[in-house]
Amino acid sequence: MTKKIKLSELGSLFGGLDIEALEGVKIEGDVELDLGQMGLNPQMAYALGHETAQMAFHLMNISRILGYPIDQMLGSPAQQKPVRPSKLIESKFGVARNEDWKTPIQEVVLGATSSDGGSRKSTVTLGGEVALPYYFDGPMPHRNHITMDVFDMPINMAKAVKSNYEDVINSPAEWAKKVVRDFGADMVTIHLISTDPNIKDTSPKEAAKTVEDVLQAVDVPIVIGGSGNPEKDPAVLEKAAEAAEGERCLLASASLNLDYARIAEAAKKYNHVVLSWTQLEINAQKELNRKLMKQCGVARENIIMDPTTAALGYGLDYAYTNMERIRLAGLSGDLELNFPMSSGTTNAWGARESWMVSSPLKEDTDWGPREYRGPIWEIVTGLTLSLAGNDLFMMMHPTAVQVLKEITQTLYGSKETEPVNIDDWVSAVV
């Protein structure tokens, strides 16, 4: 394919540009160049006259620099000899750090040791990032952490999860011990679901007792979760906060559809941290954070956000992008959004792919054993959100916890392993 263009056209094309190469060059008449013929062949160009040739070359170079599709106009280089350099062109690769990220994420400490008025052996610090997770732009001061779920009554669980907890299902304290001792949980979440009026309507006072038991049983920081009943939760969390005074627990959660002020008040009064929970809506998250700070007077170092986790295949795209946008906004200076984030990664178990024996659709390729599907669903859901900026993961399956720890700590940079040679992966026997 050979395209003919007129030199004068090319000239006028770049006429508005201040191009040195064009200065002093006079075009006499309308010389029509057949660029397809000429190509980059210097002899051919020479034959057309020195001046014109030089100009054509410059133009082509300029065009190329400007991104003009000179090569398309040149068409197929059939008549040309392919270029065959004898050695590689030397190059240096470089890329700049992201200059938009000037605002660090707020650091938040969970748990309090005896020197700080609590009884925890260790604390967990979240936040402090100055870039997207694991990026080279700046140091990530704290690794991701995992808090494992404990319930105050037996609940329905996927089979793969349940088999790990059958021996402790009636004792939140033993359950808590097990996740810390056997499964390496950094923290424990005690979900007071029995307080729901539609479940057991356990009184706030009784629920607070459960919290005390868990605090006795383990020495890691804890999260205190309500039942999710918006009428009951404030009272339950208030009592629990009181029972756990000074321990810097994470109170889950304050949200726009319940009396968040009461929860904020309890956190302030008994030295805890508030989990600010919204549903996949960045503006709602801003609004709630603002209310917690301005209206309720919660200090910045006492706020963590839960922007909602949807499972892989069930809205993870919204959850991922919502978190990524929140984190980018925070790093770029939005002081209503630069808080650490927490994910209810356990929601992955709501995906049918994680627990159903087989696909309900005949057209699907066999789903294989569900025992393997569940944990990886939890892992991939969590891992995806870790890349969006999530700091704390609420999880259930021990294998999922191990694998998520392994990959997040590898990307964080704390996993040392023997170097692997991948140069011959093509011929590896696997």
Partner 1 sequence: MKLNSPLQVYKYLPQINCAECGDATCMAFGAHLIDRSKKLEDCPPILKDKYKKKYIELQTLLAPEIRQVTIGVGENVKNIGGDDVIYRHQLTFFNPTAFAYDVWDTMPEQELIDRVNKISNFRKFYVGKFLKVDMVAIRCVSGDAMKFAGAVKKVAETTKLPIVLCSFDPVCLRAALEVVKERRPLVYAATEKNWSEVAELAQNYKVPVVLFSPDLDKLKSLAATFQEMGIKDLVLDPGTYPQGKQLKESFERFVKLRRAGIKEGQKDIAYPLMSIPLNAWLVYKDAVTASYWETVLASVFIVRYADIMILHSLEPYAMLPEVHLRDTIYTDPRTPVKVAPGVNEVGSPTKDSPVIITTNFALTYYTVESDLSSNKINCFLAAVDTDGIGVEAAVAGGQLTAAKIKDTFAKANFEIKEKTTHSTLILPGLAARLQGDVEDVTGLRVMIGPPDSGRIPGWMEKNWPPKQK
Site for partner 1 in 342-381 (CB under 8 A): 350, 352-353, 356, 359-369, 372-373, 375-377, 379-380
In the set 78, 88, 115, 283, which binds partner 1 (CB under 8 A)?
Answer: 88
- Taking only Cα atoms into account, the Rg of the chain, rounded to an integer number of angstroms, comes to 31
Asked if 320 touches partner 1 (CB under 8 A), the answer is: yes
Site for partner 1 in 156-195 (CB under 8 A): none
Site for partner 1 in 52-71 (CB under 8 A): 67-69
User: Which region among 21-29, 77-85, 114-122, 240-248 touches partner 1 (by CB under 8 A)?
Assistant: 77-85
Dihedral pair phi/psi, residue 223, rounded to 5°: -110, 135
The torsion angle over the Cα atoms of residues 341, 346, 347 and 351, rounded to 10 degrees, is 140
Give residues with Cβ within 8 angstroms of 282, minimum separation 6: 307, 322, 325, 326, 329, 337
User: Does the N-terminal peptide bond of residue 359 adopt cis geometry, omega within 30 degrees of 0?
Assistant: no
Asked if 316 touches partner 1 (CB under 8 A), the answer is: yes
141/66 Cα distance (integer angstroms): 43
Q: Do 113 and 155 touch, CB atoms closer than 8 A?
A: no
State both tokens at 379: 């892992």
Q: Do 300 and 293 touch, CB atoms closer than 8 A?
A: yes
- Most distant CA atoms of the chain, gap in Å: 98
Q: How far is the CB of 96 from partner 1 (least distance, A)?
A: 7
Q: How far is the CB of 28 from partner 1 (least distance, A)?
A: 23
319/351 Cα distance (integer angstroms): 14
Beta bridge partners of residue 305, listed in sequence order: 276, 341
Q: How far is the CB of 136 from partner 1 (least distance, A)?
A: 5
User: Which region among 121-129, 130-138, 142-150, 234-242 touches partner 1 (by CB under 8 A)?
Assistant: 130-138
If the CB atoms of residues 24 and 94 are measured against partner 1, the closer one turns out to be 94
Asked if 415 touches partner 1 (CB under 8 A), the answer is: yes
Asked if 17 touches partner 1 (CB under 8 A), the answer is: no
Burial of 166 by CB count in 10 Å (0-12 exposed, 13-18 middle, 19+ buried)? exposed
Asked if 276 touches partner 1 (CB under 8 A), the answer is: no
In the set 187, 312, 331, 341, which binds partner 1 (CB under 8 A)?
Answer: 312
Beta bridge partners of residue 251, listed in sequence order: 224, 274
In the set 16, 24, 29, 85, which binds partner 1 (CB under 8 A)?
Answer: 85
User: Which region among 45-53, 204-212, 294-302, 399-407 touches partner 1 (by CB under 8 A)?
Assistant: 399-407
User: Which region among 102-110, 179-187, 240-248, 316-324 touches partner 1 (by CB under 8 A)?
Assistant: 316-324
Asked if 410 touches partner 1 (CB under 8 A), the answer is: yes
User: Which region among 85-93, 109-117, 216-224, 297-305 touches partner 1 (by CB under 8 A)?
Assistant: 85-93
Crossing angle of the two packed helices 204-217 and 233-243, in degrees rounded to 10: 40
Asked if 24 touches partner 1 (CB under 8 A), the answer is: no
38/244 Cα distance (integer angstroms): 83
Asked if 78 touches partner 1 (CB under 8 A), the answer is: no
